Amino acid sequence: MLKFEIIVSLFATMLISAVVTPFIRKLAFRWGAIDSPNKRRMNKIPMPTLGGLAIFVSYTIATMFLLRSQMPTHQLYGMFAGQVVIIITGVIDDIIVLKPRQKVFGISLAAIIVYFFGNIQMSNVSLPFIGTFSLGWLSLPITLIWILAITNAVNLIDGLDGLATGVAVIALTTMGITGFFFLNVGNVYVSIMIFALVAACLGFLPYNFFPARIYLGDTGSLFIGFMISIFSLNGLKNATFITVIIPVIILGVPITDTIYAILRRMLNKQPIMHADKRHLHHRLMQIGLTHRQTVLVIYGIALIFSFISLLYPISTIWGSILLTIATLIGLELFVESIGLAGKDRQPLLNAIKKVVKENTSKDNH
């Protein structure tokens, strides 16, 4: 009976999100939260943002009311306080546009709140062949860095209709499955919260998928990124190689895009926060894919990462290490093939071509 009630509640959450979104769309126009076309934007007409507010409202109704009996009160309220700070930061940014350091301040404040009041933190680390040790005073800065990195990574991929929302649904679903069956023994409520957010995103996605009628906005991308980061931290209180690598692999798309954006700007001697049009979705469109095709291809890449992540809990430590190496090599080859790091920066591909050329020359002789 309990499982049936949870399923009904999740379905209701999706419906609430679908019903609330049109009202949020009108509110965005009224508040002036509009994304106007410019040379950096993909939209050709003014688009309302604040879509994340619909996801936040439906998710909050789910966790605070529909699924309230499944949640631990202390952690729930601590997380909610952090969520409110993130939403306020996102709403302000969608209306008046905040400077990067102001957004970082908002995310950091939310992270500190969930660290102290939600007890969401990385406390201990277990490394293969080394052992377990306490992070001590490093717990807070490492937790802050984790939350900032994941939140900003999701924020950066929100560049096409339905892209960030769909990738988040894939990542969150994988996290929920992994947590329920492998990691969160005794903490089933974490998986329930994850699926509540999935339901809220699914209710919003039809309005956000190409051609979109409303954007996530920073309200949505910051909120979703923040929630993914703190959900993953629930499995990282006592961090091991497996519990750290799984969320990183699951979030392979936004993390890869962020890492190579930083690398690309450093190689070009540009500020890290400098905006460009060489993100993953930009490069796929520049090589000939349509808007919709680009989004679907990135969904496919996200699914590949998710399937890989599901292999870790059933692998040995050596199997996990080899799986990680193979994933990194495959990822590097893909990144170089589409020029994500920049033009003429293909060290691995060039090395392979050189080896093939040398072997071909030997065979000819």
Binding-site members are 155, 218
Here the tokens at position 87 are 């939403």
How far apart, in Å, are the Cα atoms of 97 and each of 32, 89, 218?
A: 11, 10, 9
| Rounded Cα distance, 179 and 72, in Å | 17
47 near 32, Cβ under 8 Å? Answer: no
Q: Are strands 238-240 and 124-127 parallel, antiparallel or unpaired?
A: parallel
Shortest CA distance to 281 belongs to which of 272, 273, 293, 270?
293
Quick one: residue 119, left, alpha or beta (phi over 0 = left, psi -120 to 50 = alpha)?
Answer: left
Side by side, which strands form the sheet with 124-127? Answer: 131-134, 124-127, 238-240
- Which residue(s) pair with 3 in the sheet? none
Q: Give the three-class secondary structure for 48.
A: strand
151 near 222, Cβ under 8 Å? Answer: yes
Query: Which residues are annotated as part of the binding site for Mg(2+)?
Result: 155, 218
Residue type, 65: F
Cis status, amide bond into 46, omega within 30 of 0: no
73-81 contacts at long range (C-beta below 8 A, 24 or more positions apart) = 74/117, 74/118, 74/119, 75/118, 75/119, 75/120, 77/117, 77/118, 78/113, 78/114, 78/116, 78/117, 78/118, 78/119, 78/120, 79/114, 79/118, 79/120, 79/230, 81/113, 81/114, 81/117, 81/118
CB atoms within 10 A of CB 340: 24
| Rounded Cα distance, 103 and 21, in Å | 24
| Rounded Cα distance, 106 and 331, in Å | 32
Q: Give the three-class secondary structure for 34.
A: strand
How far apart, in Å, are the Cα atoms of 201 and each of 145, 216, 260, 296?
A: 25, 10, 27, 17
